[in-house]
Chains A and B, each alone.
Chain A
Amino acid sequence: MSDKILELSHLAKKFGENEVLKDINLTVNRGEVISIIGSSGSGKSTMLRCINLLEEPTDGKIYFKGQDIQSKECKITEYRSKVGMVFQSFNLFNNMTALENCIRPQVTVLKRKRADAEKIAREFIEKVGMSAYVNARPSQLSGGQKQRIAIARALSMNPEVILFDEPTSALDPEMVGEVLAVMRDLSTTGLTMMVVTHEMQFAREVSTRVVFMDSGVILEDTVPEEIFTNPKEARTREFLTRILGTN
């Protein structure tokens, strides 16, 4: 039985006259790892940002476990604490150490006791292989290290879904691997993940579903093998040929 965790229904987003998302319908089941691919400007990131309400949808609804997240009954801060987000630009808090980055949100948002929060934070920092750097400040970390701490921060909130917005796009090629390795590990834990990515190998090997977006609409939504070996739409074929080279 599939267990619906997120549902986007006729979601649309306009920036002025510019229609970035048009009538997006997508259902995410618990435990799925969904890669969202497509060329720049296709609306992938905007869709993810709408799910977290960092952008306000102009039309349509988003349901989290059956509840409309824009309704009055839904507390947005509580919802956001259950739906983690990892950004392209990391967005670690510059005024805190790596450890404090993972503790403070738990204490302020989830009202956890500091000692408990620290234990949880250390656990996840260990999990992303950053234990040696707990006292480092963001400015002292490399991109890959920052991103791993950002993932640990998201995990520390014990979210039900984590949204990854191009988590490796701002990294040097040699640091991409360490972040993808962490995400690969996560994908085996049953955590629901939505990943906007340009890493086709990751999309193919790790995700349970791949969504291809083009000009603000979802063109294909299927299992990875299908989309990579037998894409239905001409646009998908064109995109994959371009990004994967000639094969």
Chain B
Amino acid sequence: MQFFKNVWETLVTYHSLLLEGLGYTMLIALTGTIIGLIIGIIMGIIRTIPRAKTGFGRVVQKVGNFIISAYVEIFRGTPMMVQAMVIFWGYAFIAGGNTLPLVPAGIFIVSINTGAYMTEIVRGGIISIDKGQFEGAHAVGMTHFQTMFHVIIPQVMRNILPSVSNEFVINIKDTSVLNVIGVMELFYQAEKIQSMNLQIFETYVIICVIYFIMTFAVTRILRFFEKKLSGKKNYVICGSQSDPAAEIRVMEDEGDVR
């Protein structure tokens, strides 16, 4: 079969380019997701600061919240490919023709784009935490930041992990748009390869399979962690509820979470 022969030859000839592309794609997607998550958490903490008492504080808070909302709306409301062009060439315009180094630029673009989505995901996560958790922390004298750091965010992280995994998978695929500024990720490498071997179909089938393997593997690995973090859905408490001296044993039931 000509097709398989071509695929095989492409793999043999261009494996280093493919591997390089795969490496950059994973690097950019992973770092972008992590930095995006950090942005989301910081925004979430800022947005939930209790209402300031002084007039000045209130103005600062209003402006801060407006900036965060604007950031979220703008980055969610425009394509990442366009954002990449605007940021990359915008910098070149301001810096008089100097361009950003490609990979850091790619990570930057993916990070702030993901950050906008993560801000909303974290906000949802914080809203879903019972008000009593905040009150319990405030009542022992914790500050807003201590409350967030020790009590709220750990619980939020657990709850939002599925959404975070989802963002990561989306990022693996969406890094392909960074080819417009010339980042050497997988899609860019495919374009380069097909211009050399002139086998457009075979080349894109190869990277299609590579993308799928990456996202599938990542999904499985993250699901494993989700299960670990959520603990078991059911457990049976043995021991007496009225006798404090009775030993407590928690027997975990097998069962899927969610």
Query: Which of A's residues lie within 8 Å of B, judged by CB?
Result: 52, 54, 77-81, 84-85, 87, 89-95, 104-105, 108-110, 129-133, 136, 140, 142, 144-145, 148, 150, 153-154, 157, 174-175, 178
How far apart are the CA atoms of A67 and B141 in the complex, in Å? 17
User: Is B62 an interface residue, CB under 8 A from the partner?
Assistant: no
Contact A132 B155 (CB under 8 A): no
Known: A93-B133, A94-B133. A85 touches B139 (CB 8 A): yes
Residues in B with CB closer than 8 Å to A174 are 242
User: Is B250 an interface residue, CB under 8 A from the partner?
Assistant: yes
Residues in A with CB closer than 8 Å to B247 are 132
User: Is B46 an interface residue, CB under 8 A from the partner?
Assistant: no
Known: A91-B133, A132-B245, A136-B248. A81 touches B235 (CB 8 A): no
Beyond the given A78-B141, A157-B140, please list 11 additional residue pairs across the A-B interface where CB-CB is below 8 A.
Answer: A77-B143, A80-B138, A80-B140, A80-B141, A81-B140, A90-B132, A91-B132, A93-B151, A104-B150, A109-B146, A110-B141
Contact A140 B137 (CB under 8 A): no
Residues in B with CB closer than 8 Å to A94 are 133, 155
Chain B: minimal CB distance from A15 (Å): 15
Known: A132-B247, A132-B248, A140-B248. A91 touches B139 (CB 8 A): yes
Chain B: minimal CB distance from A87 (Å): 7
Contact B151 A109 (CB under 8 A): no
How far apart are the CA atoms of A175 and B240 in the complex, in Å? 12
Residues in B with CB closer than 8 Å to A145 are 241, 244
Query: Which of B's residues lie within 8 Å of A, judged by CB?
Result: 132-133, 135-143, 146, 150-151, 154-155, 158, 235, 237, 239, 241-242, 244-248, 250
Contact A109 B241 (CB under 8 A): no
A interface SS class = helix
Chain B: minimal CB distance from A133 (Å): 5
Among residues of B, the one whose C-beta sits closest to the C-beta of A78 is: B141
How far apart are the CA atoms of A89 and B133 in the complex, in Å? 10
How far apart are the CA atoms of A81 and B137 in the complex, in Å? 10
Chain B: minimal CB distance from A148 (Å): 8
Residues in B with CB closer than 8 Å to A178 are 242, 244
| A130 in complex: contacting residue of B136, B140, B150, B244, CB < 8 Å | B244
How far apart are the CA atoms of A136 and B249 in the complex, in Å? 9
Contact B142 A109 (CB under 8 A): yes
Residues in A with CB closer than 8 Å to B235 are 140
How far apart are the CA atoms of A52 and B245 in the complex, in Å? 34
Known: A132-B244, A140-B248, A140-B250. A105 touches B133 (CB 8 A): no
